[in-house]
């Protein structure tokens, strides 16, 4: 992504994010049926506050004692002042992140809790800011702020690293956070320039998907450099392909 594009994204996030706050968002989240696979709808990936590391300990250590009476569930802040926490999501390459939610408690009427979504190169330099989510819900004890990323952010673990930072204000337990949720869909690799099979042209409607299957080592075609796209799939072939694709069955 180039710089201009990033700036454009940030503006778009800021505009669309505000519109999605509150009840409307709550309804949206509960309407979506939970799912994990496929290229439609969102799968949700939750990063607990427990996974976040305090980036700068100058303002004191990370506290997470709020909610102790409720099984000691993590809600984090720093005792001495504003604190920045960081964590990296573990999403598969090809995941397209398009939803971003901060679950936090900001009981302080002045101080807010912010979360940033960063994508960096492998060296951790040249990081771009993918969006800011802010819980400025005033005196409400707990709430969430959510943003949609209209263009989405494509996870590429081979070339990039992703991090999420959360900034808590004031240095007291009145601004703390419980976690960040990322919503994503899976996507299929773009089609290569040339076809691997003599009978699957680059204009074939199944070209991109057949190439993805071949590149994954799930199929090597039907022999003689062909894939036989119009041949019916036998139950035997189905068993081989599915077992290979899913890595079945380890117990």
Partner 1 sequence: MNRRFPAAIACAASLLWSAAAVAGAQSGQPQAYGTAVSYVEIPAVAFESSIPVTFPVVQGNGTSAYVRYTPGCGGCLMAPLRLPSGAKIVSLELDAIDTDAFDAVYGSLVACDRWGTNCSKHPAAASGPGDCALAGSVCTGEGFADGVTTATADLAPDGLAVDNTQGAYFLTGWADASTVALSGMIVGYVLQVSPAPASPTFNDVLVNDPAFQYIEALVASGVTAGCGGGNYCPDAPLTRRQMAVYLAKALGLQWP
In the bound state with partner 1, the residue whose beta carbon lies nearer, of 65 and 121, is 65
CB-based contacts of 205, cutoff 8 Å, min separation 6? none
Q: How far is the CB of 126 from partner 1 (least distance, A)?
A: 21
In the bound state with partner 1, the residue whose beta carbon lies nearer, of 3 and 158, is 158
Contact 107, 113 (CB under 8 A): no
Q: How far is the CB of 127 from partner 1 (least distance, A)?
A: 21
Residue 81 has phi, psi (to 5 degrees) of: 170, -170
Q: How far is the CB of 171 from partner 1 (least distance, A)?
A: 14
Residue 194 has phi, psi (to 5 degrees) of: -120, 155
In the bound state with partner 1, the residue whose beta carbon lies nearer, of 45 and 118, is 45
In the bound state with partner 1, the residue whose beta carbon lies nearer, of 126 and 233, is 233
Q: How far is the CB of 25 from partner 1 (least distance, A)?
A: 11
Q: How many angstroms separate the CA atoms of 198 and 202, rounded? A: 10
In terms of Cα–Cα distance, which of 68, 69, 92, 66 is closest to 79?
66
Q: How far is the CB of 21 from partner 1 (least distance, A)?
A: 15
Q: How many angstroms separate the CA atoms of 88 and 128, rounded? A: 14
CB-based contacts of 186, cutoff 8 Å, min separation 6? 37, 38, 39, 43, 92, 94, 95, 96
Is 208 strand, coil or helix? helix
In the bound state with partner 1, the residue whose beta carbon lies nearer, of 12 and 59, is 59
Q: How far is the CB of 134 from partner 1 (least distance, A)?
A: 16
Q: Which residues of 62-97 are buried (b: 16+ CB within 10 A; e: fewer)?
A: bbbebbeeeeeebbbbbeeebbbbbbebebeebbbb
In the bound state with partner 1, the residue whose beta carbon lies nearer, of 118 and 209, is 209
């Amino acid at each position: 992504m180039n710089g201009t594009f990033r700036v454009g994204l940030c503006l778009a996030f800021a505009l669309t994010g505000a519109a999605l706050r509150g009840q409307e968002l709550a309804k949206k989240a509960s309407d979506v049926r939970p799912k994990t696979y496929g290229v439609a709808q969102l799968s949700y990936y939750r990063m607990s506050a427990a996974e976040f590391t305090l980036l700068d300990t100058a303002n004191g250590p990370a506290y997470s004692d709020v909610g102790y009476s409720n099984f000691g569930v993590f809600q984090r802040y720093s005792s001495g002042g504003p604190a920045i926490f960081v964590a990296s999501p573990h999403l598969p390459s090809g995941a397209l992140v398009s939803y971003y939610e901060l679950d936090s408690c900001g009981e302080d009427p002045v101080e807010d809790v912010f979360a940033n979504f960063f994508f960096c190169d492998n060296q951790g330099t040249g990081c771009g800011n993918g969006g800011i989510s802010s819980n400025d819900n005033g005196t409400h004890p707990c709430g969430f702020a959510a943003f949609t990323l209209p263009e989405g952010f494509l996870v590429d673990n081979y070339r990039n690293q992703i991090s999420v930072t959360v900034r808590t204000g004031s240095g007291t337990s009145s601004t703390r956070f419980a976690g960040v949720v990322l919503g994503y869909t899976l996507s299929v690799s773009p089609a290569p320039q040339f076809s691997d099979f003599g009978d699957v042209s680059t204009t074939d409607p199944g070209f991109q998907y057949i190439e993805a299957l071949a590149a994954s080592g799930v199929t090597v075609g039907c022999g003689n450099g062909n894939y036989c796209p119009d041949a019916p799939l036998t139950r035997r072939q189905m068993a081989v392909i599915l077992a290979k694709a899913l890595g079945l069955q380890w117990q």
